[in-house]
Amino acid sequence: MSKRPLEGIKVVELATFIAAPCTARVLADLGADVIKVEAPMGDPLRYTAVNEGRPMDQKENTSYDLENAGKRCISLNTKTKEGHDALEKLISEADVFITNVRQKPLAKMGFDWETLHAKYPSLVFGYVSGYGEKGPDKDLPGFDFTAFYARGGILGPLRDKDSVPMLTVPGFGDHQVSMNLATGVLAALFRAKMTGEGEKVVVSLLHSAIWDISLVLQASQYGADCMKFPLKRNEIANPLTVCYLTKDERWLQIAMPQYDRHYPIFMEAAGHPELVGDPRFYPQAALQDNKPEFYEILVSIMASKTLDEWCKVMDEADLPYAIAQNWDELLVDKQAWGSDCFYEMEYPNGAKRTLVRPPMMFEECGLPPYERGPYLGEHTEEVLREAGYSDEQIAEMVESGAAALMDPALA
């Protein structure tokens, strides 16, 4: 494999859960040496097995591995002077510092941007925030359930008006934040290497959600009925972009955003040529006064064929569509496997699990190795030695509780 783009770059991560750790995982995939600093109790993401139905055994921790593959882990109690000083030593030698610690505690520790930039002017500082660093709610705790889905205008408006909000899943907003932050960090790192001047990059869950819905959010300002979300399904301005139930009760998403071009083709392919020139439904401008009527016609048409029958119809007419797959189907999707979305991880207990790769592919560098996330404290001694600590000093830090080693049972 060719040399990966970030080989030789050192990243220190002081973060928990998903968004910020995932940013650092992306940098690790790109070849950076990422040192994850965890408290002796560990990142809470290590202990979410009950929520996910997976084994409690730390040797098979798919969620932690997803966000922390390819890193090294040092366990420090930064509330002690020795632990705090060790973390600062690591930061002083790093190119990038990634964190999601809230602003006030971070400043109290002396690891805020202003303090670190004064000491280490070339350092790139990547920061994940719930609501941003300015404004009246900047200090609120933020999770994707709240800052992204709810406050960010996704959970309330983007549902059928007659239904309840969707069930949220963890990580959806976090992963988008991580990619946004990785983009900013890479740009800042390029600048730092060119000029010697570091930069602070901030990405919030709230802003990421607003960016994701920006197309419809901006359009909503014109007050058109088609933008007054939440809408009923039969009020969508273009019913050829809605998901429909087939005869065998499968959901099929059709996607014909160019209504006036696609409508005649679809009606012919669906076996309803009598509707091709119907002035109630064509062109799209005429449809707007007849949307509920046309929607009911479409529901009936889509329910007249099975999923396989519709797939054949759509393929023959070269019309865009996709099956609304469940997760069991997605895990064996031939295209997803063929395009390297997945990796089969074999764990020490013999279990084989499908893990997901970050969605960046490099032609010359090839696929990065998918190494499991580090066990808590797995590299404490190694990292401290590299930072210049003697074996005696490391032993003293472990004895005093300033540092912690890996549980021998995990070896």
Q: Mind telling me the catalytic residues? A: 174
DSSP β-ladder status, 199-204 and 243-245: unpaired
Half-sphere exposure of 217 (CA within 13 A, CB side): 11
The DSSP element (H or E) to which 38 belongs, if any, is: strand 33-38
Query: How far, in Å, CA of 107 to CA of 113, rounded?
Result: 8
Measure CA 395 to chain center.
Answer: 38
Q: Is 168 exposed, middle or buried (0-12, 13-18, 19+ CB in 10 A)?
A: middle
Which residue matches tokens 């059928």? 160
Query: How far, in Å, CA of 78 to CA of 95, rounded?
Result: 20
Q: Provide Rg for the chain, Cα atoms.
A: 26
Sheet with strand 72-76: strands edge to edge: 199-204, 124-129, 96-99, 10-14, 33-38, 72-76, 403-404
DSSP β-ladder status, 124-129 and 199-204: parallel
Phi/psi at 306 (nearest 5 deg)?
A: -80, 170
Q: Which amino acid is at 328?
A: D
Query: How far, in Å, CA of 332 to CA of 318, rounded?
Result: 24
Query: How far, in Å, CA of 113 to CA of 125, rounded?
Result: 7
Is residue 356 classed as helix, strand or coil in its secondary structure? Answer: strand
Task: Indicate left, alpha or beta for 318 from its phi (over 0: left) and psi (-120 to 50: alpha).
Answer: left
Alpha-carbon dihedral 148, 152, 155, 159, rounded to 10 degrees:
-130
Output the six-digit token pair for 159.
Answer: 């549902």
